[in-house]
Amino acid sequence: MFADDFRAYKARVLQYSDKFAEMTEEATKTALIMPFLVLLGYDVFDPNEVIPEFVCDVAGKKGEKIDYVILHDGEPVILIEAKRAGLKLQKQQQGQLYRYFSTNRCRLAVLTNGNTYNFYSDINSPNIMDDDPFLSFNILDDDEELFLSSLEQFHKANFNIKEILSKAVFLKYVKVVEQTLKQDLINPSDELVKYFLSRPEIKTGNRITTQIIEKHRAATAEAMRKVMGATITAAPAVPAATVQAETIGDKAMNAVKSALPNADCSMTENDGVYSIDITDGGVHKGTLRVSDKLRVKCDYFGEDKSVCFFGDIDKIKELM
C-alpha cells in the first residue's frame, strides 16, 4: 500500500535528519529526492520516465537545466527543482523554477529540499507558475493524513493531469477560505460585516456607511468566534495585562513533567509544531512532537524506535 511505502520513506528521511545541515545538494538528491521519486512509482534510472539535468532554455540563456523532469507518454509533465536539505524553502528559491516553468508545456512543478515539498501549477494564469503552492507538506513534521491522498495522485499508476489540476484548484480554494476565515475571526473585513448588515433580519434603517460597518465589526467577530468555537488572541489596541493562553506544547510539557518529574526537558516551536527533547537520568529518552491539530507524535520512544500516535495528551503519561 502507498501509505506503507510512504512511512518507509519517512523513516529514511528521519534517518538522515541529523545530517541535514551538512548535506550538499547532490547528497540530498541521492539520499532523499531520488527515493521520493521511487515512492511515486518511477524508475529513476529509466530516461523514459525520469530525466536528470533536463535542459530548459530560458530566453537569453541557453543550456539552462532543471534537476529532474518526470515524463508520461514521452512528454514532460512535472519539473523538479532540488535544494540542499539544510536550506529552508522560501520564495527566493522559486525564481529558477519560475523561469523554467514558462519554457515548456509542463503544468506541474515541485520545489523540494528532500523534507519539505512544494507543488505548483499555473492556476491563476496559463503557463505562468503561481506564486504559492497548491500543496505543501513537511515529511517529518506534518500529519500525513492531511496530504497523503493528494500525494498519491502523483503516483505513476494514478497519474491523471486533469484530476490533479482539478484537485489543485480545490486545494487552493480551501487554503484561501482558511486564510480568509482566520483573518476575519481576528478582524472581520468590511465586505463580511456589510454582508451581515444586509441580511433582511437586520434592519439598520440607514444606508450602510463606513461608520456603521466599523460600529458592528467587533460584534461580528464575537459572533463568528462563538459559532466556530475559536479562541483568538489578538494584540489589544491599548497595552493591558493579558493572560497568555496555554498552548498544546505547554500541555504536553506539563504531562511529561508530571510523568517524569526529574527529567530535563527543553521545548522549541516551528510552524505550529512543538518539539520537546526529554533527558532523564542522563539518558536521552526521546523527542516528543505535538501539533496544534491535537495529534501527538512520539519519535524514538521504545527499543524498536517506533512512532506512536495518541489522540489524547494525557496518554503521554502512560507512554512515559
Average pLDDT taken over every residue of the chain: 81
Please determine, for residue 311, whether its predicted confidence score (pLDDT) is greater than 90.
no
Residue 6 lies in a domain: yes
The pLDDT tens digits of the residues spanning 160-203 come to: 999 999 988 888 888 888 888 888 888 889 999 888 888 888 76
Chain centroid to CA 191: 29
Residues 180, 164 within the same domain: no
Domain enclosing residue 184, as ranges: 173-202+210-228
CB 33 within 8 A of CB 80: yes
Q: Report yes or no: 239 and 299 within 8 Å, Cβ to Cβ.
A: no
Whether the predicted pLDDT of 27 surpasses 80? yes
Question: How many secondary structure helices (H) and strands (E) does the chain include?
Answer: 10, 11
| 62 occurs within a structural domain | yes
155 and 86 part of one domain: yes
Check pLDDT > 60 for residue 236: no
125 plus 29 within the same structural domain:
yes
Number of domains the chain contains: 3
Structural domain contains residue 243: no
pLDDT, residue 299, reads 45
Q: What is d(CA 314, CA 307) in angstroms, rounded to the nearest whole number?
A: 17
Residue 104 has a pLDDT of 76
235 within some domain: no
Which SS3 state, helix, strand or coil, does residue 214 take? helix
Q: What are phi and psi of 285, to 5 degrees?
A: -80, -35
Length of the chain: 320
Each residue's pLDDT tens digit, 197-221: 888 887 666 788 888 889 888 888 8
- Residues 95-142 pLDDT 10s: 778 887 877 778 999 999 999 999 999 988 888 899 889 999 999 999
Q: Closest Cα partner for 127 from 166, 95, 98?
A: 98
| CATH code of the domain in which 67 resides | 3.90.1570
**pTM attached to this predicted model:** 0.62
> How large is the average pLDDT for residues 218-244?
60
